[in-house]
Amino acid sequence: MAARDFAPGDLVVAITGREVRVPTRYTLQLAPSLHVDAEPQPDAVGGYPEWRFLNHSCDPNTMVRGKTFVARRAIRRGDELTFDYESTEWDMATPFSCECGSRNCRRMIRGYRHLSAKARAQLGALTAPHLLTLAVHDSAAS
């Protein structure tokens, strides 16, 4: 939940954690072979990095920019903080059924690699640059 109000473009939370090469259910992909782990951190509030608690939404109120989450639109104190997992993950370590309730809900969240051209276009500016690079390499390999 948001602890305060955020305006569009505001920094919501920094992405901190140990960098790893292998994705898990609790990692966030930042580059083709780079993920950040949301494992417990002794200096973090509640023991974990804050970003670990952002849930998925097909119509999220935050997006990843570099090593931060920024507000996509106004967020009110108490709002659930969400991001679109398929905007950062090439292939989800743990795919899941989505029930976010968005008008554009994709129902099954498996990773950017599995999205149709239409779904990729709908993500648009939310898409992390490393996914565009991976998509080019993937289509060239096909």
107: left (phi over 0), alpha (psi -120 to 50) or beta: left
* Three-class SS of 12-24: EEECCCEEECCCC
Mean pLDDT, residues 117-129: 94
The residues pairing with 64 across neighbouring beta strands, listed in sequence order, are 69
What are the domain boundaries of the chain? 11-141
Does pLDDT of 142 surpass 60?
no
Q: What is the pLDDT of residue 141?
A: 65
Q: What is the pLDDT of residue 47?
A: 81
pLDDT digit string, tens, across residues 66-92: 999 999 999 999 999 999 999 999 999
Considering the four listed CATH numbers 2.40.30.10, 1.10.10.10, 3.40.50.150, 2.170.270.10, the one that applies to the domain covering 11-141 is 2.170.270.10
CB atoms < 10 A from the CB of 114, how many? 15
User: d(Cα 91, Cα 23) in Å, to the nearest integer?
Assistant: 9
pLDDT digit string, tens, across residues 8-64: 999 999 999 999 999 999 999 999 999 999 887 776 666 888 899 899 999 999 999
